[in-house]
Structure formats: structure tokens, C-alpha cells
């Protein structure tokens, strides 16, 4: 696989603080994470680190658990140029989120960890949306959250997933890296009981650093919808 390196991830790995402007509707960002999922994640990361070579460790960035999240919708990508009026943009999406809260069904989302995948850009968890709660919310977002004239279109993923690994540089042996990643993930996944949890909180997050490397505080979590 021809892995894609990411300069932003390289900056994050060096703890360089690049200021960005992004807005997403997301889940699983609240703290603490569901205990079964948190335990599984720590075990997986430890096993990956124990088995990777020095070159492989230097090639990847593994997310701290605090920054794991499920993007339900990207309202304004942090990769876009800043809006001409950041304050106006923020207020528009706050108003949309308020309307979303008023019209959405107050019902928790039931998720099951379904698989662990590796793309050319990221390693990620894929979840099964057991009660179609996230899909129904995404349908509501399509109706309610309309960008203002001249603003970029929404980006709504077609799966329910959480990225946890990205690339700083390409591994010297991509084939061996890929094989090792899949083997370790399969070993851990196969011997773990089904990971099943409820999501009872959705938030509107202000992404002032790339890939949600922000604090879970009032400045960054602009609004919360209880499910």
C-alpha cells in the first residue's frame, strides 16, 4: 500500500501548535471514554508499539485516547482557508446546531465495534450503527445544516468510524508494516469480547487544532446535544 504522509500529523507529533478553524458535529469526544472501548484501545496501542520496529514507530502517529472521536458531519473543514468572517461562520453553525437539537429525537446511539481497517491515510475503527441513530441524525443534518452562500459543502462520512493512526513518513517496508498491523489487530480483536456501548452525547466542536487535538472544554465544545 502506498501510504500517505501528513505534514499536519508531523507537526502534531512534534507538539507544534498550528491554529486552524474547523467545525464538526461529533460523538465519542466526551470524557471519559466508554470503559470497555478505552481498555481495548490501550491494549491495542501497547501491542502495536511492542511489535513495531523503530522505523515503523517513527513512521506513525497514534492518537492519545482523549482525541479519539467519531465525526458525524464536518460543517467546516480545518483544511479549508479561514472564512472571511469567523464570528459569522461560528454563529451560523451554532444556530443550525440549536435547531438540530430542537428537532432531533432524544435517543441514545448504540454502537458495536465491527472492524479495524487500514487505508493509505489512516488506521481506523469501524462501528456498526445498531439502531441507525447516527444515520438518522445525518439525515436531519442534511436537511437543517445548510451552508451559507459561498461556504464549502458539508462532508458527511458514509461509515461510522474513528481514526487512531496516521503517517508521519512512509515505513521502509510498507508490505511488512501492513501485514503486521492486520495481524496484531486481528489477534487482539478476536480474543476480545464484543465491544458494545451507548453514545448519549453529541457535540458541536470548534477544531482550533487539526484532527481534534483540542481540549474537551467550553471554548472548544460550543454546544452539546443530550441523546
Q: How many domains does the chain have?
A: 1
Q: Is residue 219 part of a domain?
A: yes
Interior CA angle at 38 toward 57 and 114, to 5°?
Answer: 85
The verdict on residue 2 lying in a domain is no
How many other C-beta atoms lie within 10 A of the C-beta of residue 132? 12
Is 24 a member of any domain? yes
Distance CA 180, CA 60 (A): 13
Q: How do residues 18-71 score in pLDDT, each as one tens digit?
A: 899 999 999 999 999 999 999 999 999 999 999 999 999 999 999 999 999 999
Range of the domain at 108: 7-226
Question: How many degrees, rounded to 5, is the angle at CA 73 between CA 217 and CA 220?
Answer: 15
CATH number of the domain bearing residue 45:
3.90.1140.10
- Flag whether 91 is in a domain: yes
Per-residue pLDDT tens digits for 94-132: 999 999 999 987 789 999 999 999 999 999 999 999 999
Amino acid at each position: 500500500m502506498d501510504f500517505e504522509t501528513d505534514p499536519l500529523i508531523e507537526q502534531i507529533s512534534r507538539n507544534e501548535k498550528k491554529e486552524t478553524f474547523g467545525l464538526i458535529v461529533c460523538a465519542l469526544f466526551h470524557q471519559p471514554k466508554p470503559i470497555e472501548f478505552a481498555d481495548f484501545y490501550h491494549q491495542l496501542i501497547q501491542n502495536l508499539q511492542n511489535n513495531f520496529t523503530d522505523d515503523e514507530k517513527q513512521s506513525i502517529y497514534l492518537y492519545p485516547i482523549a482525541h479519539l472521536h467519531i465525526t458525524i458531519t464536518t460543517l467546516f473543514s480545518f483544511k479549508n482557508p479561514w472564512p472571511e468572517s469567523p464570528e459569522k461562520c461560528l454563529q451560523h453553525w451554532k444556530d443550525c446546531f440549536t435547531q438540530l437539537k430542537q428537532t432531533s429525537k432524544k435517543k441514545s446511539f448504540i454502537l458495536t465495534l465491527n472492524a479495524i481497517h487500514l487505508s493509505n491515510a489512516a488506521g481506523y475503527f469501524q462501528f456498526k450503527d445498531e439502531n441507525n441513530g447516527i444515520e438518522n441524525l445525518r439525515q436531519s443534518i442534511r436537511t437543517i445544516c445548510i451552508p451559507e452562500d459561498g461556504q464549502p459543502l458539508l462532508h458527511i462520512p458514509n461509515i461510522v468510524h474513528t481514526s487512531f493512526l496516521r503517517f508521519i513518513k512512509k515505513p521502509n517496508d510498507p508490505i511488512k508494516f501492513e501485514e503486521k498491523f492486520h495481524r496484531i489487530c486481528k489477534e487482539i480483536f478476536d480474543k476480545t469480547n464484543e465491544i458494545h456501548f451507548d453514545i448519549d452525547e453529541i457535540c458541536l466542536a470548534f477544531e482550533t487544532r487539526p484532527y481534534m487535538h483540542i481540549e474537551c472544554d467550553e471554548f472548544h465544545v460550543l454546544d452539546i446535544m443530550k441523546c
